Chain A
Amino acid sequence: MTPVMRPAPSLEANEVSKSFLMGMVRLHVLQQLSVSIYPGELTLISGPSGCGKSTLLSLLSGLQAPDEGQTRALGQELSGLAKRALERFRLKHTGFVFQGFNLFPALTATEQVALPLGYLGFSNKDALERARQVLKEVGMSHRLDLRPASLSGGERQRVALARALAKRPQLLFADEPTSALDAENGQNVARMLQRIAHEQGSTVLCVSHDPRLTRHADRVLEMEDGQIQRDWRPSERDSAARREFA
């Protein structure tokens, strides 16, 4: 069997630990966990509630710093960066999709997407043009001038996705992006995440316990009690199943 040639990992956690104080008790969420995530793939972290999957995503995305260990993103050490430097890193390289859509009620779909581009130095004209283009890519070209109150849940999530994608991030983080969506909208969002990874070569790291996402993931990390219990690729399992069937 030929060894698979992989590019260098875009995200790395090296023996990271993270704990939180819950009242009088210190809760150890992650303990000396190491993992590497690769570009061009949709990596799914799944597991039961409280297993530490969202905490791992927050460490790898630079939203939080580990208590111990190191995190690296795009070859840059994140653990030692100051808050402002982390904000600059996120501005340049990362996109986020959260479970709640968190859209500003006063802004139209186009403005929601154009807003973060302003912080990158885009002019209003360029930002709005890029926003319309990205909204078109996520199938929202017919809802450009509507505010969140006039959009369905699926449409709002697509606007939130477009907002994360507008700056063409190398790293895209998604936390339970499909949990508030119906079957069809959930499938659509999952397909979009996979397409972004494959077509744009972005690193897409997604946290979810939605089984619909597993089908579209290139790699699945199953977590339990702060540890990765299983690291597998659905495509390899499918080929093995097909071979067995044949």
Chain B
Amino acid sequence: MIALARKTLFHEWRRFLPAILAIGFSGVLLTVQAALVLGIFGSAAVYVSSSSADLWAGYPGTQSVNFGRTISPDVEMRLRMDPDVTDVEPYLWVEGDWHGTHEKSGGVSVFVSGINTGRKGMMFSSLLSSGLRQRLEEPNAVIVDRSELDQLGVSLDQAAWINGHRVHVVAAIAGLRGLGGVNVLASLDTARLLQGEDSPGVGPTYYVAKVRKPSRVEAAQARLIANPSFGPFEVWTAKQFAWRSQLYWMFDTGAGVAVLFMAGIVCLVGGVITSQSLMAMVAASAREYAVLNALGASFRSLSQVVLEQSCWVGGLGLLVTGITSTVLLSVAARHDVPVAMNITIAMICAALVLGLALVSGLIAMRGLLRADPALLLR
């Protein structure tokens, strides 16, 4: 069979270009949006995803990491009693008010994470080298995200104030950006100091634990059910707690619905532009299609040509999406814009792009109704 769809597409590429670009840039918008969602809402769980702990024990019903409440120190004992748990460490969450040294800096809400600074510490293990952990052991030492130095009104090695206590910025790293406030890392001792010894909720917010084998995580979680003698607590796997935190920010805050709405708009606009471009192409060739129909080519065969063209448009649009999104996301990541991508989301975006092209092709098939051979007779 003569490859009519392909030959027409390559010979008349200028006429197909608007459809290809419409599909391509719809794909770019979807992909970048998805990457921003993953990046921004992923940062709601940066505490979990950048740590090597397998289990998290916190106050029952905690919706997101930043809503943690103080739990009893006895929970540590309960965790250590489990035969599969090999290590336990406390994690202290302190909300503070930051004042920098720069003249124009005002007060900034910060979330101080008090962590174990030991060499084998689980919290933020993927972000902190043992050298940086060691530096946190210095009294009042803190580490912040490098992209937030300006917002905090401070430079590296300078002093600042949290809740009226003087702290010293010993390092600025990447990947610490969070949602709702600026993340500050400190040792457990520094965090306790910032929390104020006499504050009502003194004590750890979470206990994180390491399990002997990854395959035993669920079993260990199942065993660690609430026990009144250890005070109120609930145990989640790291994956569950990260997902729980992201879901809260995505849906309970309404942000996710807004994102889904935007994705719907992107698909709609892309679909309308693409289908109109394809329909114009079909209408422009209506007389040629009508001759083929007069010669006996069925409406179904002609529809297949239109669908094949829309598949080509989808494929080429996907190429535009892939190249442009890769460049844009690389630039964004280099400038500390919170973006992230994984294979599942990339595949979903690709499927949406191809689906969009296919639906546009189905709509454009209406243009074939003009290909009535009787209209060729004058």
Contact = CB atoms under 8 A, between A and B. Distances in A.
B4 A115 contact: yes
B296 A105 contact: no
Max chain A C-beta neighbours (<10 A), residue from B2, B290, B301, B373 = B2
Interface of B: 1-2, 4, 7-8, 10-12, 285, 287-288, 290-299, 301, 373-374, 376-378
B7 A96 contact: no
Nearest to B373: A63
A119 interface: yes
B296 A92 contact: yes
Contacts of B290: 102
Interface of B is mostly: helix
Nearest to B11: A106
A230 B214 CA distance: 96
A54 B378 contact: yes
A87 interface: yes
Contacts of A61: 294
Nearest to A115: B2
A103 B291 CA distance: 9
Contact of A175 (B12, B299, B376): B376
Given A94-B294, A96-B294, A119-B298, 6 more contacts: A58-B374, A89-B296, A102-B290, A105-B12, A111-B2, A160-B291
A118 interface: yes
Contacts of B7: 104, 106-107, 111
Interface of A: 54-55, 57-58, 61, 63-64, 83-84, 87-92, 94-96, 98-100, 102-107, 111, 114-116, 118-120, 124, 127, 147, 160, 163-164, 167, 175-176, 207
B14 to A, nearest CB: 12
A6 B301 CA distance: 39
A106 B12 contact: yes
Nearest to B295: A116
Contacts of B12: 105-106
Given A105-B11, A106-B8, A90 B377 contact: no
A77 to B, nearest CB: 18
Nearest to B301: A119
B377 A57 contact: yes
A38 to B, nearest CB: 22
Nearest to A124: B1
B31 to A, nearest CB: 32
Contacts of B285: 104
Given A58-B374, A115-B2, A175-B377, A106 B295 contact: no
